């Protein structure tokens, strides 16, 4: 018996070393840079065995993350993920852990780039309070950040300017600004979200859906006390019912029979396969970046 243990240890040293965990790429949100993801990156490195991780910064980080557009960000993120050959498992897959606006970018990556032309496929996507259903705070005034410049910009986006070409191309939050009182102008004017959400028919609709369906896990974390994402249900693809800024549907608008049947993004199909996990974290927006025990209890299991 005492000879078996050393043999097992040697075997594990060989096998466990070769079979590392799926690598992890992390992405920050708006008004944040990679430094804001340092804690999460450190916890990934500490708790996920044999993992390679990379904390990615898009478009100049903290201040840059406000200007530009989500298409550019997604391309920048994709370029950096592709450029790092360590960011893929033997099966060519990467796990993504992304905060806030970054979660939307990560989902954009999963739908637009993953698994082709040398871009690693996505295994598990962990979204920490991402505005997947849209963002609207026109009535209550927006938080998004304490930065005065940020507030000014968001207020500006809150104007009808939101769907102007200028705002769409140059102010990032315009990419997920969704006016429940004017869905038509959103669908016609917004250049990012109606596409990645397959709310309109476009040339890549089918591909986006197929790619989303190829995820092993989509983990959507949010919280009623989030404080930044409005409505908070957006983290789970929920949004206000058209014509109201009071009542938000809890998840994707399944109450809309037609959406449920057509399942344009494949979210229902993914859910039917048990691959979507909705989590109420009970955290405020920045909580994910500061709470080690939450990481260990609720995020880590999806990365093992």
**Interface with ligand NAG by CB under 6 A: which residues?**
35-36, 38-39, 68-69, 71-72, 160, 163, 168-169, 182, 184-185, 191, 283, 287, 289-294, 297
Identify whether the C-beta of residue 64 lies closer than 8 Å to the C-beta of residue 49.
no
CB closer to ligand NAG out of 35 and 272: 35
Report the nearest approach of ligand NAG to the CB of residue 270 (Å): 26
Task: Give 119's contacts (C-beta < 8 A, 6+ positions apart).
Answer: 78, 81, 82, 109, 113
Report the nearest approach of ligand NAG to the CB of residue 266 (Å): 23
Identify whether the C-beta of residue 117 lies closer than 8 Å to the C-beta of residue 146.
no
Nearest to 275, CA basis, from 236, 237, 218, 235: 218
CB closer to ligand NAG out of 71 and 214: 71
CB closer to ligand NAG out of 246 and 293: 293
CB closer to ligand NAG out of 156 and 191: 191
CB closer to ligand NAG out of 86 and 160: 160
Report the nearest approach of ligand NAG to the CB of residue 104 (Å): 14
Chain centroid to CA 112: 13
CB closer to ligand NAG out of 256 and 297: 297
Report the nearest approach of ligand NAG to the CB of residue 10 (Å): 37
Report the nearest approach of ligand NAG to the CB of residue 256 (Å): 19
Tokens linked to 269 = 């199909």
Contacts 24+ apart (CB under 8 A), 260-269: 264/197, 264/198, 264/199, 264/205, 264/209, 265/197, 265/198, 265/208, 265/209, 265/212, 266/209, 266/210, 266/212, 266/213, 267/212, 267/237, 269/213
Report the nearest approach of ligand NAG to the CB of residue 221 (Å): 12
CB closer to ligand NAG out of 54 and 275: 54
Convert 257-288 into a string of H (helix), E (strand) and C (coil): HHHHHHCCCCHHHHHHCCCEEEEECCCCCCHH
Identify whether the C-beta of residue 178 lies closer than 8 Å to the C-beta of residue 237.
no
Report the nearest approach of ligand NAG to the CB of residue 303 (Å): 16
Q: How far apart are CA 206 and CA 211, in angstroms?
A: 9
Nearest to 170, CA basis, from 61, 67, 62, 30: 67
Q: Please, what is the end-to-end C-alpha distance for the chain in angstroms?
A: 30
Report the nearest approach of ligand NAG to the CB of residue 89 (Å): 28
CB closer to ligand NAG out of 62 and 151: 62
């Amino acid at each position: 018996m005492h000879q078996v243990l050393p043999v097992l240890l040697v075997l594990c040293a060989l096998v466990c070393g070769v079979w590392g965990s799926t690598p992890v790429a992390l992405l920050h949100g708006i008004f944040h840079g990679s430094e804001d993801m340092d804690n999460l990156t450190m916890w990934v490195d500490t708790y996920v065995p044999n993992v390679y991780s990379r904390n990615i910064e898009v478009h100049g980080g903290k201040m840059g993350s406000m200007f530009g557009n989500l298409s550019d960000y997604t391309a920048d993120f994709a370029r950096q993920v592709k450029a790092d050959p360590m960011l893929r498992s033997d099966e060519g897959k990467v796990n993504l852990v992304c905060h806030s606006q970054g979660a939307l970018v990560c989902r954009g990556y999963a739908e637009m780039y993953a698994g082709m032309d040398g871009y690693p496929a996505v295994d598990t996507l962990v979204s920490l309070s991402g505005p997947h259903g849209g963002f609207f705070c026109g009535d209550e005034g927006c938080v998004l950040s304490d930065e005065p410049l940020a507030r000014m910009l968001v207020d500006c986006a809150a104007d009808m300017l939101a769907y102007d070409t200028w705002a769409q191309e140059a102010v990032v939050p315009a990419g997920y600004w969704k006016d429940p009182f004017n869905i038509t102008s959103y669908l016609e004017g917004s250049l990012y979200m109606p596409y990645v959400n397959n709310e309109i028919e476009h040339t890549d609709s089918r591909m986006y859906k197929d790619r989303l369906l190829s995820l092993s896990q989509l983990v959507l974390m949010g919280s009623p006390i989030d404080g930044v994402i409005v409505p908070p249900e957006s983290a789970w693809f929920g949004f206000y019912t058209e014509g109201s800024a009071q009542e938000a549907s809890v998840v994707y608008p399944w109450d809309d029979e037609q959406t449920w049947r057509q399942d344009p993004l494949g979210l229902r199909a993914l859910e039917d396969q048990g691959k979507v996990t909705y989590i109420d974290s009970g955290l405020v927006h920045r909580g994910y970046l500061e709470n080690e025990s939450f990481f260990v209890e609720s995020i880590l299991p999806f990365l093992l």
